[in-house]
Amino acid sequence: MHQLHKVQGANLKEKLRPLVAAMGAHKKGANLQGVFSKILQLAVAGGLRKDMMVKRVFVLSDMDFDGWTGTSSVWKTEYQGICDKFAAEGFTVPQVVFWNVGTSKASMPVLAAQEGAALLSGYSKNLVRLFLEADGDLTPAAVVADAISGPEYDALEVFD
């Protein structure tokens, strides 16, 4: 059963503790259809104004998704189904940020050009900044461009 959790706490450890406990011993792959269905169900049932819809969903995962076969056409089909459900209720589907916090050999659920989605992997100061401040164009390619657009990269030159 999918649930929404209010994230509270003074620091990251306090914020994550109840989420980890809620997962229990039966850790499963992420069911993205279920997540978006729950968000939409609660929005409709609660009479949420269209402008108050969740803008972005963060998926911190080992990239083990239920039903995922590893082909981009599966995500496009699933994502289009999610978009269609939201549109039928008059809502814009939230953007999705996939952050691989597990193995480096995980499958990637979207391609670089996928609109409405972004991919992050690993840990760094810039990734945390992107995670917290990302705004505007959200594609995997745009996230990479933003990650390397800091002033510390201005002096770099490409020689071919």
Q: How confident is the model at residue 71 (pLDDT cuts 50, 70, 90)?
A: low
Measure the CA–CA gap between 133 and 51, rounded to whole angstroms. 19
DSSP assignment of 81-133, as one string?
A: HHHHHHHHTT-PPPEEEEEE-S-TT---SS-TT-TTEEEEES--HHHHHHHHH
Measure the CA–CA gap between 136 and 124, rounded to whole angstroms. 21
Euclidean distance between the first and the last CA atom of the chain, given in angstroms as a whole number: 53
Looking from the CA of 105 toward its CB, the CA atoms found within 13 Å total 0
Please give the average per-residue pLDDT across 37-46, as a whole number: 94
Measure the CA–CA gap between 112 and 144, rounded to whole angstroms. 9
Helix (H, G, I), strand (E, B) or coil at 30: strand
pLDDT number for residue 2: 65
Please give the average per-residue pLDDT across 124-134, as a whole number: 65
| pTM passes above 0.85 | no
Structure-model confidence comparison of residues 18 and 88, the more confident one: 88
Q: How confident is the model at residue 40 (pLDDT cuts 50, 70, 90)?
A: very high
pLDDT number for residue 52: 94
